[in-house]
Structure 1
Amino acid sequence: MPQTRLDTARIRAARRVIDPVFLDTPLYRCEALEPRLGCAVSIKLETANPVRSFKGRGTEVVASLLAGSGSRAVVCASAGNLGQALAWSGRRRGLDVTVVASRFAPAVKLDRIRALDARLELVDGDHESARERAAAIARHDGIRLLEDSLDIETCEGAATIGLELVDAAPSFDAVLIALGGGALATGVGHVLKELAPDVEVICVQPLGAPAMTHSWHRRRVVTTDSADTIADGVAGRFPIPAVLDDLLLTADDAVLVQETSITAAMRILLDHAGLVVEPSAALGIAAILEDRDRFAGRHVLTIVCGGNVDMDAYHRWVGTSPVHGP
């Protein structure tokens, strides 16, 4: 296959520096979902770790390299999950971590970043504003700027999920991957294209935040003026050219789903799999709901990539009522 920026040998090496708490997450066939979706469904559960998302795989690689080089400070922009993961990995290695986030990010994610001893700076505006501020801090302070998806460590950390899928001797026909900045899709996609090329790699993005999907289809960077989706973890507006180049080599398709399908998928995962997930993690199930004929009779795997969700918002989205104690 044409070469991406990723390297399978480095991905295998990444497993040796990632804390085992992030590795070998549950992978199982979820038969309870199948009558509702009309296809066989397996789940890779990336919420079963201390930061409740896949992001810890990449930040472990970054933090290990920083600690090994003697560099002690790092800054990143985050919609919430990357910041938590970097704070966790940095605290473990004695790093000085600064996270820049939109003040409109879910409070549960911001609170967790603070609890992990990172310095948190909030900005008005969206994630792109946070990216600009993080870059400014890095320049001013002369410290490492971690850019999710652009920095190859984040992609290759996420790619270790792909190794685990392949090691499980997959019987699935397609993998549905949430698409935001692209680290998860390019990382897992790279491994599957190299080691399990018959598996179809399908990226899924909200209709309200379609920049990377439009870019994939047009084979050039397409930006948007705004993003309007409850799936805050994938709500970028400015695709990174190098990441798009990788995505063009690793994805077989990129699809958009409606907000109503995302909330329906969250409810299905709650009712039939017992999983409370954030909207980004439900994108794969939403894609099945919107195109049942495409997946009928197939074995589909979806990566449940995050479980950091504001519970009040969650109850509104899925139509449940919070349970209050006495």
Structure 2
Amino acid sequence: MVSFESVKEARDRIYDHVQFTPCCESYYLSELTGCKVFCKREYLQRTGSFKERGAANALARLGEVEKERGVVAASAGNHALALAYHGKRLGIPVTVVMPKFAPLIKVSTCRRFGATVILAGESFGEAREQADALVEQKGMVYVHGYDDPDVIAGQGTIGLELLEQVSDVDAVVVPIGGAGLIAGIGLVVKALKPEVEVIGVEPERVASYRAAMKAGGPIMVEAEPTLADGLAVGRVGDCAFEIAQKCVDRVVTVTEGELSLAVLRLLELEKAVVEGSGAAGLAALLGPLKGELEGKNVVLPLCGGNLDPFTLHRVIEHGMTADGRLHALEIRISDRPGGLARLTELLGEGGVSIQCIDHDRMFAGPDVACVCVRVVLETRDMSHYQDVLSMLDDCGLEVNKSI
């Protein structure tokens, strides 16, 4: 098991090899949530996530023979990047087994760091089977992404830092995937300041920690697609859960809309590109914890920022929709000359921005005098949107808001 002493030893071991990330107060997020919010910016690590801490500690703890044989892990994300980077730094061969659907950018980055990347299987489970086979065949060491004691100790160094940076903290809101991060942070926080509340956050679609709490131990749950893909772990770790259940005060779940809105808020207010998993803490403050921590000092570990541009684009659009700023409408207008021009003039007078417009005669219905216009609008907020709908209604236009 992991002890407070092992976390302190991990800090000494990795101190010169990972970033001491800032934990600054956010004026805008504090104003938005009613708390005094401090952001622990782990996305500023060299490979973009907190995973470097655990990987660096686990690799440094290997014996000479183990270092020579190398390590292997099944991962399609941040753990793979962290192992590849620190393996290269320490001269330790790293093999990463990724599912065939792994993001191309992460595959190429791992290879750039010198890791051997094997694409195997259609799922993480199949990739893990291939990694286990390499352990048997070549005597390589398997480094688990969230349930290895050395990895958990490395992640716990975040707790040491944030308590030094925010001495009067009242609560820490931590994302939960496999539970290694919250186990490490919670262990440290409760050892040094047991009065501080440790709150976990899971996506509604993969609430594996809450399932473990209900069952009395880790069980497998169905992992549905989520914007917080780094938290989409169907079963929390045994070691991680044993530690976490002693130091986590409560766990909340967040919706996909809350996650995307949190990513958008961080981008707009903090100028920070944070993935859905890293934004889960803010999603909780905007959702299930709204108003509960008002006036308190709250630390949010922004634990990862590895979003590819296409995913970021989709998340921004999803977030703007959740924020009442992006809307799709179907409007029936006259097919006479000037009908479309009149519609765009009305929308312009209403102060909206037209993001996309499609003029459809073929499927506009039986009335040949009318045409269907499908339009995507950007508004300031939901109130502005309602004003636009009222304006269109006053002009006698038939509007379908269901698309």
> TM-score, normalization: structure 1?
0.92
Structure 1 residues 286-295 or 17-26, which shifts more?
Answer: 17-26
Structure 1 residues 291-300 or 24-33, which shifts more?
Answer: 291-300
- Contact 1:189–1:251 at 8 Å: present in 2 too? yes
What is the aligned counterpart of 1:148 among 128, 145, 150?
A: 145
Partner secondary structure for residue 203 of structure 1 = strand
Matches within 5 A, 1:68-79: 68-69=64-65, 71-72=67-68, 73-79=70-76
Partner secondary structure for residue 17 of structure 1 = helix
2:48, 2:200 → 1: CA distance? 21
- Contact 2:189–2:196 at 8 Å: present in 1 too? yes
Equivalent position of 1:324 in the other structure: none
Taking only the aligned residue pairs, the percentage that are identical comes to 32
1:42, 1:218 → 2: CA distance? 34
What is the aligned counterpart of 2:218 among 218, 221, 241?
A: 221
> TM-score, normalization: structure 2?
0.75
Equivalent position of 2:54 in the other structure: 58
| CA deviation map 1:20-47 (0-9, x unaligned) | 2524211110111122222221000011
- Contact 1:227–1:236 at 8 Å: present in 2 too? no
- Contact 2:219–2:235 at 8 Å: present in 1 too? yes
Partner secondary structure for residue 222 of structure 2 = coil
Matches within 5 A, 1:191-206: 191-206=188-203
Relative contact order, higher structure (CA 8 A, sep 6+):
1
Partner secondary structure for residue 227 of structure 1 = coil
CA shift for structure 1 position 179: 0.6
Equivalent position of 2:2 in the other structure: 6
1:186, 1:35 → 2: CA distance? 30
CA shift for structure 1 position 105: 3.0
> Are 1:164 and 2:164 matched, yes or no?
no
Task: For 1:302, give the aligned amino acid.
Answer: L
CA shift for structure 1 position 119: 0.8
2:34, 2:125 → 1: CA distance? 38
2:213, 2:316 → 1: CA distance? 30
Partner secondary structure for residue 243 of structure 1 = helix
Partner secondary structure for residue 186 of structure 2 = helix
2:129, 2:239 → 1: CA distance? 18
- Contact 1:67–1:95 at 8 Å: present in 2 too? no
- Contact 1:207–1:258 at 8 Å: present in 2 too? yes
2:162, 2:77 → 1: CA distance? 26
Equivalent position of 1:283 in the other structure: 280
2:132, 2:224 → 1: CA distance? 21
2:8, 2:62 → 1: CA distance? 19
- Contact 2:66–2:140 at 8 Å: present in 1 too? no
Equivalent position of 2:296 in the other structure: 298
What is the aligned counterpart of 1:248 among 245, 257, 263?
A: 245
Task: For 2:51, give the aligned amino acid.
Answer: K
Runs of 4+ in 1 over 3 A off after TM superposition: 67-70
Partner secondary structure for residue 293 of structure 1 = coil
- Number of residue-to-residue matches in the alignment: 317
Structure 1 residues 204-213 or 179-188, which shifts more?
Answer: 204-213
1:217, 1:252 → 2: CA distance? 15
1:67, 1:270 → 2: CA distance? 43
**Given the superposition, is the C-alpha separation of residues 295 and 104 from structure 1 closer, same or farther in structure 2, using an over 3 Å criterion?**
farther
Structure 1 residues 203-212 or 236-245, which shifts more?
Answer: 236-245
Structure 1 residues 205-214 or 217-226, which shifts more?
Answer: 217-226
CA shift for structure 1 position 169: 4.8
- Contact 2:180–2:237 at 8 Å: present in 1 too? no
1:208, 1:61 → 2: CA distance? 31
2:4, 2:64 → 1: CA distance? 22
**Given the superposition, is the C-alpha separation of residues 210 and 123 from structure 1 closer, same or farther in structure 2, using an over 3 Å criterion?**
farther
Task: For 1:16, give the aligned amino acid.
Answer: D
Structure 2 gap segments, 5+ residues each: 321-354, 356-403
Give the number of the structure whose alpha-carbon radius of gyration is greater.
2
Task: For 2:235, give the aligned amino acid.
Answer: F
